[in-house]
Structure 1
Amino acid sequence: MKRLHIKINIAACTLLAVSALSCTKLNEQLYGSKTAYDATKPASASDLNGVYAQLNGQTDQANTYALQEHSTDEMMGPTRGTDWGDFGTWRKLHTHSWDATHNQINDTWDQLNIGVFRATQVISTATDNSIKGQASFLRAYFMFQIVDLYGQAPFRDPASSPDDLPKVYNRAEATDFIIQDLEFAKANLGASANIGIASKAAAAALLAKVYLNKAVYTAAQVGGPFTFEKADMDKVIENCNIVEAAGYTIEGANKYFQDFAWDNTEKSTENIFGIANSETRVVANANNRWRMGAHYNQTPDGWNGFTTLADFYKSFDEKDERRGIAYPGLTELIGIRTGFAVGQQKGPKVGGGLVDLKQRGGQPLIFTENVNLNFSTEAQGIRVFKYFPKPVHNDKDNIWKTDEDHNPNDYVILRYADVVLMKAEAIMRGGTDPEGATALSLVNSVRAPRGIAPLTAVNEADMLMERGHELYWEGWRRNDLIRFGKFNDPVDQRPNASDKTRTLYPIPQRAVDTNPNLKQNPGY
């Protein structure tokens, strides 16, 4: 059984800095150790590493990832007896019934604001523009998440007095601030062969995402309506073309899951930015992404938690590779299929080959489409294996297993297919591509290698569906649904539409209580 990890940070002491956190020792395994910051010395690569380390929390199944996924139509965290109850934290996200004291809303606020503050410390003293550019990209990423989730961003100058309250940027001001950071990063960074090091392409990809969502962040009312300005859409296209010029390409036929495999460092043609791992140096293990759904008796064993929603699964064309395949070098050895797992599950047997798996009580382990948010059995719900581990043979037991401590999968944050679809959407919303591409041609360029027929036309519903099919469980679904005006729609186990104010999470109540510059979001 897997229960929610509650993680609070030491940088809280500096982070009165940002939101009046309590001083609690940092979980150094998650965030990395950090000595007292010396503002009299130019920022070093070591200081920058402390900012990169703050990204490691993005691989957790909770917090930022949970807020962006569990509130949508593609993920659910059902309670299974006494497993995964966690005081309702997952149910409240799915039903849009959270409040300003929700634990993950609070912890996400802390994690992201610490990232902004650490990056600002480096930027404030950096003399090397490469270091400053990378820190600017990282600050922009953390602040982008804050703006997207909470709609306002506290900011503290590291040189200010500890007694000074952080100023607060409203959503439009913070968006402009992010754009400035990313333009600086884009101008001062070059190419990078390492997914874990910010590059010009990464800055351009994130800048495209900011401009694509600018209508949401500058809307007169929370939740819209949204007006997508042509100038903003042209900026999306301009930055997507910069990424394209850097040489990234869509994975070829039968290669979709290569972007998430154990050898994605060497073989991916799409991955732009994320967290680099290797068999000898695991910085932030991607194993949460399979453990959070895998059953206890599967290989690899998991926590038997999260599922997708049946309606989302059934929206895929049966021929779509992204729906799920038998992955060579994986499925025939340990039984796991990539993509969506439904039906009888299999695992390795002694001597080779596969065997039908059973539940803990001895019943067949058959994953079903039906699932109940409050009262599910251990086999209910369709699971997702987008990331997956490298099988290794255990000679002693003569069986295939996995090495959970040395997973070399790079964790992906920005990917080229997302860039192509952002460009397509910007053209659909009125932007002009100097290269002459159309929204339809771009969408079909993503669909073709996935094994499905081309579209003959593309509208908003098609675009949103294509983004869902391409980017599921990568942490962008909430962002997309809001932009397309679909976030508040009813879904399975949430039968009624939620209010548009739910397109923003509340500012944690303890932050509002201690910083009068913060104003609680509408509806809370």
Structure 2
Amino acid sequence: MKNITLKISAICATGLLLTATSCTKLNETVYGSKSISTGNAGSASDLNGVYAQLNGQSNQANTYALQEHPTDEMMGPTRGTDWGDFGTWRKLHTHTWDALHQQISDTWDELNTGVYRATQVINTSGVSPQIKGEASFLRAYFMWQVVDLYGQAPFRDPAAPSSENPKVYNRSDATDFIIKDLELAESSLGAATSIGKASKAAAEAMLAKVYLNKAVYKATAVGGPFTFAKADMDKVIGYANSVADAGYQIEPAGKYFQDFAWDNTEKSQDIIFGIINTATNAPANTHNRWRMGMHYNQSPSGWNGFTTLADFYNNFDPKDERRGGDYPGLTALNGLNTGFLVGQQYGPGHKALTTRGGAPLIFTPKVDLNYSTEAQGIRVIKYFPKPNADGSVNDDNATNTLIILRYADVRLMKAEAIMRGGTDPKGETALSIVNSIRVPRGATALTTVDEKAMLAERGFELYYEGWRRNDQIRFGTFNNPVDQRPNASDKARTVYPIPQRAVDSNPNLKQNAGY
């Protein structure tokens, strides 16, 4: 394998480690921001390489950070010299990023590399309908993230000369491209054989996601106003019903956190598509999902970083199990609860923990984005580790499947589409669907559902799963003031800037308005 740049070498090495794919005939080409390989694609083995590109979705930075930190449910406070990181997290929370922001650039590269690699597989002569369908789903997912985050999508034909600049789809045309890819995937793929493989249901779940957001992507002005067409909402409902017919189920009462446990691959009834991790191969290790908020003295030792906002936490019904609490096989051994961690924290043997300075480790709702102490801020444990018998944790290869799509999201998309004027041939109402999720969780049934209640319910069910920015933009609340961001931001912030190095390298890219 010829190494072109450090970036390319690292990408190919990842593919080799995870999938035994190979990179051949590498030729340097500029794809938006950085060089990537443009060697001849194979078929099944190269498809594994496209799946491997998904592993970046497990990072607490990049795509996940861009979708969560600017919202009302996450922030990354600076604690003394910890988590300053040149203002990376503060700028995301305060909506003050620019075209030089490192995570905005790195996410662009990561997602567009996924699009390109999937295209290589799709364009391979003689590729089977199954492989083409899976690659089309993966390309659609990567391009959807690009369109959602940046508002335009570069596209390179692998057969084009390396000297040719990638063409660029505007947001509307890119949305149409994504829908075609997903329709091909839906028609080519069957029932899921594994959570870790694209399926007909996964394509339908993504189609519902795209149609639900189509008004945002087709709007004449970035940030709205949005007009949700009944035909689009009917599409959402139709695809959601088809996913339901595949047999997925909402977890029963008392089992919400089973979806995120160390054995969710085997036990979850809700996961449609994700990245499977095992004790010997964890390509999308979920350990950062708990370590990013846990304190240094908890088990395992955390990074003492991200928190939720007190207002978000306070919106939960106190009886709602999604707020968190004891979990069998975890809390009694390790002291760690699921959900939101607030108040005195405990370790193995129910030992009360302290800060590094010896004070009681009490997580407080109060948090300052610029000057927090090590105990300030409510932490969130959505995924969680499997402890040993003595309560200790070795999570080098955490076995939790990283969820990308799950049925509860599909159900709430259907409810929202009905609320926005769609018609359900099965006769369900938005209220009945929302309550079918709320009541098993122990939350009080609602008597009516409006936009405010629907957005709140999506937050209760899907917090910290990477959907909040997308939801807030659709509901028109993304630019509203929140704790530590006292002023409304401009609607231009509903898309990120195109990384400056991408604009500089591809004259077909035009910087988004407002940057």
Please state which band the TM-score falls in when normalised by the shorter chain. Answer: over 0.9
Residue 191 of structure 1: how far off its partner (Å): 1.2
Alignment match of 2:431 (pick from 440, 450, 454): 440
Structure 2 matches for 1:6-45, cutoff 5 A? 25-26=9-10, 35-37=22-24, 43-45=42-44
Matching of residue 365 in structure 1 with residue 361 in structure 2:
yes
Residue 127 of structure 1: how far off its partner (Å): 1.8
Query: Counterparts of 2:145 and 2:4 in 1: how far apart (Å)?
Result: 19
Query: Counterparts of 2:329 and 2:111 in 1: how far apart (Å)?
Result: 37
Task: Please say if residues 30 and 57 of structure 1, whose CA atoms lie closer than 8 Å, have aligned partners that are also in contact.
Answer: no
Alignment match of 1:378 (pick from 374, 377, 390): 374
Task: Please say if residues 11 and 114 of structure 1, whose CA atoms lie closer than 8 Å, have aligned partners that are also in contact.
Answer: no
Aligned residue type for 1:491: V
What SS class does the counterpart of residue 360 from structure 1 fall into?
coil
What TM-score, normalized by structure 1, do the two folds share? 0.93
- How big is each residue's C-alpha offset from its partner over 1:308-346, in whole Å with a ceiling of 9 and x where there is no partner? 000000000000000111111111110110000000000
**Aligned residue in 2 for 1:64:** 63
**Aligned residue in 2 for 1:121:** 120
**Aligned residue in 1 for 2:246:** 246
- How big is each residue's C-alpha offset from its partner over 1:114-137, in whole Å with a ceiling of 9 and x where there is no partner? 000000000000521111100000
Structure 2 matches for 1:14-413, cutoff 5 A? 25-26=9-10, 35-37=22-24, 43-125=42-124, 127-348=127-348, 353-393=349-389, 399-413=390-404
Task: Please say if residues 274 and 414 of structure 1, whose CA atoms lie closer than 8 Å, have aligned partners that are also in contact.
Answer: yes
Residue 24 of structure 1: how far off its partner (Å): 5.3
- How big is each residue's C-alpha offset from its partner over 1:197-228, in whole Å with a ceiling of 9 and x where there is no partner? 00100000011000000000000000000000
What SS class does the counterpart of residue 52 from structure 2 fall into?
helix
**Aligned residue in 2 for 1:418:** 409
Shift in alpha-carbon separation, 1:170–1:437, aligned structure 2, 3 A = same
Residue 444 of structure 1: how far off its partner (Å): 0.7
Shift in alpha-carbon separation, 1:41–1:161, aligned structure 2, 3 A = closer
Task: Please say if residues 62 and 103 of structure 2, whose CA atoms lie closer than 8 Å, have aligned partners that are also in contact.
Answer: yes
Matching of residue 518 in structure 1 with residue 489 in structure 2:
no
- How big is each residue's C-alpha offset from its partner over 1:370-428, in whole Å with a ceiling of 9 and x where there is no partner? 000000110000000000011112xxxxx321121231100001010000000000000
Alignment length (residue pairs): 498
Residue 35 of structure 1: how far off its partner (Å): 2.9
Alignment match of 2:479 (pick from 485, 488, 500): 488
Task: Please say if residues 287 and 396 of structure 2, whose CA atoms lie closer than 8 Å, have aligned partners that are also in contact.
Answer: no
Shift in alpha-carbon separation, 1:203–1:79, aligned structure 2, 3 A = same
Residue 279 of structure 1: how far off its partner (Å): 2.0
Task: Please say if residues 307 and 378 of structure 2, whose CA atoms lie closer than 8 Å, have aligned partners that are also in contact.
Answer: yes
Shift in alpha-carbon separation, 1:220–1:281, aligned structure 2, 3 A = same
Shift in alpha-carbon separation, 1:85–1:333, aligned structure 2, 3 A = same
Shift in alpha-carbon separation, 1:507–1:41, aligned structure 2, 3 A = closer
Task: Please say if residues 16 and 22 of structure 2, whose CA atoms lie closer than 8 Å, have aligned partners that are also in contact.
Answer: no
What SS class does the counterpart of residue 272 from structure 1 fall into?
strand
Shift in alpha-carbon separation, 1:134–1:445, aligned structure 2, 3 A = same
What TM-score, normalized by structure 2, do the two folds share? 0.94
Aligned residue type for 1:71: P
Residue range with higher mean Cα deviation, 338-347 or 293-302:
293-302
Structure 2 matches for 1:499-510, cutoff 5 A? 499-510=490-501
**Aligned residue in 1 for 2:32:** none
Please tell me the root mean square deviation across aligned C-alpha atoms, in Å: 1.6
**Aligned residue in 2 for 1:3:** none
Query: Counterparts of 1:12 and 1:211 in 2: how far apart (Å)?
Result: 40
Shift in alpha-carbon separation, 1:37–1:27, aligned structure 2, 3 A = closer
Task: Please say if residues 11 and 26 of structure 1, whose CA atoms lie closer than 8 Å, have aligned partners that are also in contact.
Answer: no
Shift in alpha-carbon separation, 1:30–1:81, aligned structure 2, 3 A = farther
Matching of residue 465 in structure 1 with residue 452 in structure 2:
no
Aligned residue type for 1:455: L
Residue 467 of structure 1: how far off its partner (Å): 0.2
Query: Counterparts of 2:278 and 2:409 in 1: how far apart (Å)?
Result: 24
Q: Percent identity over the alignment? A: 70
Task: Please say if residues 317 and 444 of structure 2, whose CA atoms lie closer than 8 Å, have aligned partners that are also in contact.
Answer: no
What SS class does the counterpart of residue 142 from structure 2 fall into?
helix
What SS class does the counterpart of residue 384 from structure 1 fall into?
strand
Task: Please say if residues 80 and 377 of structure 1, whose CA atoms lie closer than 8 Å, have aligned partners that are also in contact.
Answer: yes
Query: Counterparts of 2:3 and 2:289 in 1: how far apart (Å)?
Result: 27
What SS class does the counterpart of residue 248 from structure 1 fall into?
coil
What SS class does the counterpart of residue 92 from structure 1 fall into?
helix
- How big is each residue's C-alpha offset from its partner over 1:72-125, in whole Å with a ceiling of 9 and x where there is no partner? 000000000010000000000000000000000000000000000000000000
Residue range with higher mean Cα deviation, 204-213 or 270-279:
270-279
Query: Counterparts of 1:37 and 1:414 in 2: how far apart (Å)?
Result: 33
Residue 251 of structure 1: how far off its partner (Å): 0.4
Query: Counterparts of 1:37 and 1:158 in 2: how far apart (Å)?
Result: 14
Aligned residue type for 2:292: M
Query: Counterparts of 1:12 and 1:132 in 2: how far apart (Å)?
Result: 28
Aligned residue type for 1:80: R
Residue 12 of structure 1: how far off its partner (Å): 8.5
Gaps of 5+ in 1: 1-9, 14-21, 394-398
What SS class does the counterpart of residue 401 from structure 1 fall into?
coil
